[in-house]
Structure 1
Amino acid sequence: MKYSNVFLCLIALVFFQCNSPQTYEDQKKPEINRFEIELVAENLNQPMSMDILDDGRILIVEKDGAVKVFDPNTFLVNTIAQIPVNKRFNQPFTTSGMKYDADDGMHGVVMDPDFDNNKFVYMYYSPESEIAKSLVVRYKWEGNSLDLESEKILLEWPTQRERCCHWGGGMVFDKKGNLLIAIGDNSGFNINAEDGDSRRTSGNTNDLRGSILRIKPQPDGTYSIPEGNLFPKGMEKTRPEIYIMGVRNPWRLSLDSQTGWLYWGEVGPSTDEFNRAREAGNFGWPYFIANNQKNTAIKTEYDTLKIVNNSQYNTGLVELPSNPVPSIAWYDRNPAEAFPIPGSGSLSAVGGPFYRKADFKGAERPYPAYYDGKWFVTDYVRGWIMAIEVDEDGNYKSMEEFMSEGTFTGVNDMDFAPNGDMYVLQYGHDSYASYAKDAKLYRIKYNNGNRKPKAIASSDKTAGSVPMKGRLLTEGTIDYDNNISDYKWVLTAENGESIVYKEQNPVVNIEVPGVYQAILTVTDSDGATDTDTIKLVAGNDPPEVLFEFPESNSSFYFPGDQVQYSVNISDEEDMEIDNSQVSVWADYLPEGFDLQVFMDTLKNSPLYLSANAILGQQLVKQNNCFQCHNLDQKAVGPSFNEIANHYRGTDGVYDQLSKKIIGGTKGTWGQTEMPANPSVSLNEAKAIVDFILNSTLKPGDKSSLPISGSLKVPEDTNAGYLVLKASYKDKGFEKITSIETVEIVGLKNPRVYTADFDTLSNMRLYTPHFKQPNNLIPNDKKSFIGLKNIDLNGICTLGLDIIDFPKVKDSFWKISIRIDSSDGEIIGTSMLSELTVADDGFITLPIKLTSVKKNLFIVFENSKYEKGVDEFEIRSIKFIK
């Protein structure tokens, strides 16, 4: 009998496995490399919200009132309307630092559930008017434009424009055709001031602000009140439209299609929330945050069973609905402890879509069942996407990272398209900036099938004298399915003769001088292939070029100092170095530009271009300027040479041309219109002008620096790097062409920010604000930061940039400067209490002079360490001679 039961169980297991609509593969967590992030649209202007049509097109609204449509088939973005919206505050105060920039404007958009038939689109915005107010308006969209004459105002309510912030903006329809609208508390941060007292909005039963509304739009442009809202129609001192009250700044709304429950992200005063509502309710703000923790800004006594709104600005009920609903997840500026939320410092919870796989039957590439019943959420500042799993009651169960911290920059909205792709709308971190660089639309596609391999060809020797023996390498070749079935190399000579290798990393021995192509082809078991090619030069060893810095530091430049340099060149075949083939260049790379990216362009740039002009050259390529301009021939627009000859010597030419680049122009060179490039900053435009004005120069117009010499560093220099480049082109050998070797080095600014540290341990990342550099906080009894291979020659002092140093000066922290390792030789040490602040704000610590390159470690120790006590932030360090 026992064996019969086992047999029956096995039959049942096979049956359920064969008949289950969701296989084990579909339910297990997918590898992250199955998700492809694709940039599909850019050059957007403060995009705020989006909604996705059944045909896959995406309707996007921008803060300044533009209504745009992205077509995934053509990748084109077209503007279908421009709605006049308010863009300014009345008072000179915003969180951005700009004088009158407003959080007002366009906030949200959603299409009618019966859009295919009625073409109705609903928008929430603050109109351009003398009276401060907000509206929910219905328009009709037909063809290629939104009919602004079809306007039907459903809702209108007064707002304040004296101080920022909080307009909300999320909009969604439920299955019953009810429209839910997220409205922020329209309040500043001082609860004792009228425009900062959110008790007058979020805590006011008679005010629509600080609420999530639920109404039923009617065909004639009016609305009715559905059953189940927080207050019955006709109740004194209440608004029947309110479904959820007591919210601060609710962003994106999402509904679980299976349960009908509502989910949203909410930005708090210093604690942000992810919320769920199964029914109408009070979510506590401004009296409670997170899991019903009291708001310390309110001094009067109250509890969850009796909330009394005694604000002089309250126009609603005095006693508010009790038992406010707590958040299902929350986090603040410190590292999260209750939930596995990445990051610390600045924060801004957005929310995102709730995923049900049943909603994507027949979709081209739905996300796997592993994510069924999970809520995708993001944070505007931190740039991660998390997946929150909830239990059968909608309560928090678990949370895990979907996309890691920093993947995106300033996400405003996320949603799934009918084909299963997730779209991510990025406003960017440049608040109120028109056409900011990071204002983009991405999509994240899931691939549940075979993934194409990626071939990477290399060799341990790409040039040399004959016989040239080396190994061809496939290092870096990737196949995420681990099913590469075939590696093939084809080594082809200039005469067409070739040798085929079936090994993965074959050894080749080239005896005949010449230039060879080595082509790698990788094939997986499903037949997907990829190729990569490298060039091998046999018969000529490349020259060696080396920078040396006698009597100078080889890691850093110092303002006001002299940098002594020399270039040493050797070549196996050239018996004598031809100095006419040596060129040396040096210039300063401004702060904020990536050295490696710059070096890639600098390598092939001529001597006559400055660093700023080379940056301009990069920007010309990035902004597709060559589509309309050639260097020396007229295209759609004039050549860069023509522009340079026309404007060179003109007073104010940099400002004049920069304005044309940014704002566009027409008529200067005929009737052809040059489009605006509003995403280009003024400094970037000037770099482009620098490149254009130097486009007529030719080799020889600027002479090389000497092979050895001295560079005077200006006192006011604060560049990211002093970059030096040297190159030598040898004479070739017999029939083999000459080879040029380029050597580039970058001497760092002596001030090094935390982002540039090479190693760290037990240090916590802290983001003061998304526009500021990250800081580090020692996070244990022993923590350290480090830099690799640093030249300490001539450096006698290390400066520490410690935030709020006086607060921790008398603590038990000890700082040690060590070399080689975090336990290595100490070259400087002190208790924090023994250090003083120099005139430049750095805390200085003397170190022993060391004349060789070392790995440097700054170690923080506190035997009495207690989390949250005597914490301090390190922003940067400075090397001082």
Structure 2
Amino acid sequence: IRIRVKEDGTYEIPDGNLFPKGTDKTRPEIYVMGNRNPYRISVDQKNSNLYWGEVGPDASNDSFATRGPRGYDEVNQARKAGYFGWPLFIGNNYAYRAFDYATGKSGDAFDPQHPVNDSRNNTGLRELPPAQPAFIWYPYGASPDFPQTATGGRNAMAGPVYYTDMFPKETRLPDYYNGKVIIYDWIRGWIKAVTLLPNGDFDKMEPFLANISVNALIDMEVGPDGKLYFLEYGTGWFTRNPDAGLFRIDYNSGNRAPKINAVNLDKTSGVSPFTINATVDAIDPEKDEISYTWHFGDGKTMATKEPKASHTYGTIGDYKVSVVIKDSKGDSTISQPVAIYAGNEVPVVSIEQTSGNRSFYLPGKPIGYSVNVKDNDTGAIDLSNLYVSLDYVEGFDKAGANLGHQQGQALVSGKSLTQLSYW
């Protein structure tokens, strides 16, 4: 609906809605109709065009001869009031067929230019306005029309439209994004920037913030500073997700410091003298030449041109290894330290279940297990130092679930598997 709320709490209806005031069997508040499951609307702040995501049905395959098209999610654009198709059309006005549930027979496909609602439950107009096609549409599988949308579960969301001249130059995005529509998909995890033609039609779609990983992005807004604010639901369903949160995206112009993906050591403990071989996985966004300075935690450092180094510890103790990576323009990044111990190698422990149900815990039924310990330092194992603990937690398990457009993780009621540990 589109209304104008007044200071006293009442509202008035502006001109330009779908049905003029006084039209029989209609409501003048309606701006767009024919929505299935609209999700995350956004209004263009300059021209008032309306954008929204539309979550579609779960059908994976077309059945044009009997029922109609497969399911699609949509991103819709309304430049004026209109009927957007559901439940007679979907996507690019792909038509469903009339169906007689009493006889089980299919009828003719609906006509998007002259849609008719013959439902016995219809209390409104029988002859509907012409159906408007979706702005962007994509199914579970690969889309021939919008291949950038990828495949898998779907949950389309739309907005905002970004205008650089509305925000401070110091904190806004580059002018390249002026006038672009930002769309995203909660399930697939992508964000796209959509370029419009001068008349508002779709021109092209491209990845946006492709190097940023999001955890079920559920809402996005532009702040008064021109920065983007993300609300992320997290990877689990109906639970307190530790990766849920509110995040801000800052644009930093100029040279970017190198990025460290991981620091790897061949060993983190061993008998003294103890030698480690370290490598680092790092890149520079501008592909500048980078150098490495290794800090071994014993007061010694090493500069290398290659992403690797070796070092020997002669004194027993705990140490932390880190590396500073600097590009040719002088910007640098330091890694998280990796803890090591020189003096004794940590035993390798494994616990194997030898009997009992492996899928479910059955009350009163024993679970057999064996413990294997390998100690490269001593060879012999002192069984008096071997302890096994069992943790049983009643509550909820995470389980993978195919939930149509929700294809992801779900929570199912149950009991957690028993965990055995050695210490």
Any residues of structure 2 matched to 1:61-210 within 5 Å, and which? none
In structure 2, the residue matched to 1:303 is 111
Distance 1:268 1:459, change over 3 A: closer
Instruction: Report SS of the residue matched to 1:358.
Output: helix
- 1:683 is the counterpart of 2:395: yes
In structure 1, the residue matched to 2:415 is none
CA contact (8 A) 2:294 2:324 kept: yes
In structure 1, the residue matched to 2:406 is 770
In structure 1, the residue matched to 2:11 is 223
Q: Distance in 2 between matches of 1:409 and 1:537?
A: 35
Match of 2:292 among 463, 481, 487: 487
Aligned length: 379
In structure 1, the residue matched to 2:68 is none
Q: Which amino acid aligns with 1:530?
A: I
Any residues of structure 2 matched to 1:403-482 within 5 Å, and which? 408=214, 411-426=217-232, 440-453=245-258, 458-460=264-266, 462-465=268-271, 468-471=274-277, 473-482=278-287
| Higher strand residue share | 2
Q: Which amino acid aligns with 2:114?
A: K
State the shift of 1:579 in Å: 0.8
Distance 1:581 1:449, change over 3 A: farther
Match of 1:530 among 334, 342, 348: 334
**Larger RCO of the pair (alpha carbons < 8 Å, separation 6+):** 2
State the shift of 1:296 in Å: 2.8
CA offsets 1:687-734 (integer angstroms, 9 cap, x no match): xxxxxxxxxxxxxxxxxxxxxxxxxxxxxxxx99xxxxxxxxxxxxxx
Match of 1:332 among 96, 120, 139: 139
Distance 1:307 1:449, change over 3 A: same
CA contact (8 A) 1:489 1:501 kept: yes
TM-score (norm 2): 0.71
Instruction: Report SS of the residue matched to 1:386.
Output: strand
Any residues of structure 2 matched to 1:599-748 within 5 Å, and which? 607=389, 610-612=390-392, 683=395
Note the residue ranges of structure 1 that are not aligned, 5 or more in a row.
Answer: 1-212, 586-606, 614-681, 685-718, 721-752, 756-765, 775-881
Match of 1:248 among 36, 43, 50: 36
CA contact (8 A) 1:384 1:405 kept: no
Q: Distance in 1 between matches of 2:295 and 2:211?
A: 42
In structure 1, the residue matched to 2:164 is 357
Distance 1:508 1:773, change over 3 A: closer
CA contact (8 A) 2:25 2:123 kept: yes
In structure 1, the residue matched to 2:192 is 386
Q: Distance in 2 between matches of 1:492 and 1:441?
A: 36
State the shift of 1:561 in Å: 10
Distance 1:564 1:247, change over 3 A: closer
Distance 1:224 1:411, change over 3 A: same
Q: Distance in 1 between matches of 2:158 and 2:201?
A: 15
In structure 1, the residue matched to 2:202 is 396
- 1:579 is the counterpart of 2:382: yes
CA offsets 1:175-216 (integer angstroms, 9 cap, x no match): xxxxxxxxxxxxxxxxxxxxxxxxxxxxxxxxxxxxxx2233
In structure 1, the residue matched to 2:50 is 262
In structure 1, the residue matched to 2:374 is 569
CA offsets 1:49-97 (integer angstroms, 9 cap, x no match): xxxxxxxxxxxxxxxxxxxxxxxxxxxxxxxxxxxxxxxxxxxxxxxxx
CA offsets 1:416-461 (integer angstroms, 9 cap, x no match): 1122222233456888x58777764333333334444456655445
In structure 1, the residue matched to 2:79 is 278
In structure 2, the residue matched to 1:55 is none
In structure 2, the residue matched to 1:291 is 92
CA offsets 1:746-780 (integer angstroms, 9 cap, x no match): xxxxxxx999xxxxxxxxxx764637769xxxxxx
Match of 1:542 among 335, 345, 357: 345
Distance 1:430 1:484, change over 3 A: closer
- 1:368 is the counterpart of 2:80: no
Q: Which amino acid aligns with 1:489?
A: W
Q: Which amino acid aligns with 2:12?
A: S
In structure 2, the residue matched to 1:872 is none
Distance 1:466 1:584, change over 3 A: closer
Note the residue ranges of structure 2 that are not aligned, 5 or more in a row.
Answer: 58-70, 101-106, 411-423
Q: Which amino acid aligns with 1:508?
A: H
Q: Which amino acid aligns with 2:316?
A: G
Q: Distance in 1 between matches of 2:9 and 2:351?
A: 77
Distance 1:367 1:296, change over 3 A: farther
Q: Which amino acid aligns with 1:399?
A: M
State the shift of 1:235 in Å: 3.6
CA contact (8 A) 2:217 2:232 kept: yes
State the shift of 1:350 in Å: 2.9
Identity among equivalent positions (%) equals: 34
In structure 1, the residue matched to 2:420 is none
CA contact (8 A) 2:17 2:30 kept: yes
Q: Distance in 1 between matches of 2:36 and 2:212?
A: 25
Q: Distance in 2 between matches of 1:234 and 1:443?
A: 47
Q: Distance in 2 between matches of 1:405 and 1:450?
A: 16
CA contact (8 A) 2:3 2:12 kept: yes
Q: Which amino acid aligns with 2:93?
A: N
CA contact (8 A) 2:53 2:158 kept: yes
Q: Distance in 1 between matches of 2:371 and 2:31?
A: 74
Distance 1:251 1:583, change over 3 A: same
Distance 1:287 1:438, change over 3 A: farther
CA contact (8 A) 1:287 1:298 kept: no
State the shift of 1:408 in Å: 4.9
State the shift of 1:315 in Å: 3.9
Alignment RMSD, CA only?
Answer: 4.3
Q: Which amino acid aligns with 1:350?
A: M
Q: Which amino acid aligns with 1:327?
A: A
In structure 2, the residue matched to 1:866 is none
Q: Distance in 2 between matches of 1:437 and 1:466?
A: 40
Distance 1:219 1:402, change over 3 A: same
CA contact (8 A) 1:252 1:413 kept: yes
TM-score (norm 1): 0.37
In structure 2, the residue matched to 1:377 is 183
In structure 2, the residue matched to 1:502 is 303
Match of 2:129 among 321, 325, 333: 321
CA offsets 1:239-290 (integer angstroms, 9 cap, x no match): 3333323333323222334444222212333332211122222223332222
State the shift of 1:379 in Å: 3.2
Q: Distance in 2 between matches of 1:509 and 1:462?
A: 12
Distance 1:770 1:584, change over 3 A: farther
Distance 1:464 1:226, change over 3 A: closer
Q: Distance in 2 between matches of 1:460 and 1:278?
A: 60
State the shift of 1:415 in Å: 1.5
CA contact (8 A) 1:546 1:569 kept: yes
Q: Distance in 2 between matches of 1:326 and 1:242?
A: 18
Q: Distance in 1 between matches of 2:276 and 2:226?
A: 48
| Higher helix residue share | 1
Any residues of structure 2 matched to 1:26-65 within 5 Å, and which? none
Q: Distance in 2 between matches of 1:474 and 1:545?
A: 23
In structure 2, the residue matched to 1:192 is none
Q: Which amino acid aligns with 2:386?
A: S
State the shift of 1:326 in Å: 0.9
In structure 2, the residue matched to 1:873 is none
State the shift of 1:578 in Å: 5.4
Q: Distance in 2 between matches of 1:773 and 1:507?
A: 42
Q: Distance in 1 between matches of 2:304 and 2:241?
A: 49
Q: Which amino acid aligns with 1:379?
A: D
Instruction: Report SS of the residue matched to 1:378.
Output: strand
Q: Look at both structures and tell me which one has the larger radius of gyration over its CA atoms.
A: 1
Distance 1:475 1:381, change over 3 A: closer
State the shift of 1:291 in Å: 1.5
State the shift of 1:464 in Å: 4.5
Instruction: Report SS of the residue matched to 1:683.
Output: strand
